[in-house]
Copies of this chain bind each other. A is one copy, B any other.
Amino acid sequence: MRSTHVADRVTAAALDLFATQGYATTSVQQIVEAAGVTKGAMYHYFQSKDDLLFAIYDRMLALQKSHLDQIVAVGGAVEDVVRDVCVDVVETSIDFLPEGTVFFRSMHMLAEPRLKEVTQRRREYHDEFAALLRRGQDEGVFRTDVPRSVLVAHFFSDVHYLSHWYSPDGPETKTEVAQQLTELFLRGIRTATT
């Protein structure tokens, strides 16, 4: 850890502290102390405290982007596609649990243009998912008596809530949880029964 580069140590410490304490509550003093670095060194690599936040966001942004591309390309029976997508989203959300926590806790800086980009990407994400569900509805596989927006929210609520209860040290592996949550979701939105 000591041998790793200064910038990496700082971002790692910032991610940890932001996730546990929140952005506004964490001071740059705390960050540089946790990273074993002086303030001068930190401000040599980052322009501001906000920069640290956006560095974290950027990681999620890249992740979401790659996700989106992957998902759309896949074909097959709509229910299988949705299943794959859901499992994948949950798993990677677990991998990036701290980043997600920081993001969801610090969304109040909506004026920031840089944050808007992440939020927009997030919206595209949801829209893409909604389009997938629509395909299922058109094929008569998914129920139509509930608004699609509610269906979408119903899934992403699971993803979002992960940071409030899931622990990698807990009894369930991320794969298990991903499959279980996906199964619960799919059963909920299906018309026919299997």
Q: Considering the chains assembled together, what is the distance between the CA atoms of A122 and B156 in angstroms?
A: 22
Contact in complex: B21, A183 (CB < 8 Å):
no
Contacts of A151 in B (CB 8 A): 184
Instruction: Kindly specify which of A34-42, A69-77, A127-135, A142-150 makes contact with the partner chain.
Output: A142-150
Q: Is residue A160 contacting chain B, with contact meaning CB distance below 8 A?
A: yes
Which B residues are in CB contact (< 8 Å) with A193? 193
Number of interface residues of A (CB under 8 A): 37
A172 interface residue (CB < 8 Å to B): yes
Residues of B within 8 A of A140 (CB): none
CA distance A27 to B150 in the complex (A): 35
Instruction: Name the one of B24, B150, B171, B184 contacting A25, with C-beta atoms under 8 angstroms.
Output: B24
Specify the chain B residue showing the minimal Cβ separation from A149.
B165
B164 close to A150 (CB less than 8 A): no
- The one of B22, B157, B180 in contact with A150, judged by C-beta atoms closer than 8 angstroms, is B180
Given A105-B105, A153-B165, A160-B161, list of 20 further CB < 8 A pairs? A22-B22, A22-B24, A24-B25, A146-B183, A147-B171, A150-B172, A150-B177, A150-B181, A153-B158, A153-B161, A153-B164, A154-B158, A154-B184, A157-B158, A160-B160, A160-B164, A184-B188, A185-B188, A186-B188, A187-B187
Between-chain CB contacts (< 8 Å), 6 pairs: A24-B25, A146-B183, A147-B171, A150-B177, A160-B160, A193-B193
Q: Which residues of A are at the interface with B, using a C-beta cutoff of 8 A?
A: 20-22, 24-25, 105-106, 108, 146-147, 149-151, 153-154, 156-158, 160-161, 164-166, 171-172, 177, 180-181, 183-190, 193
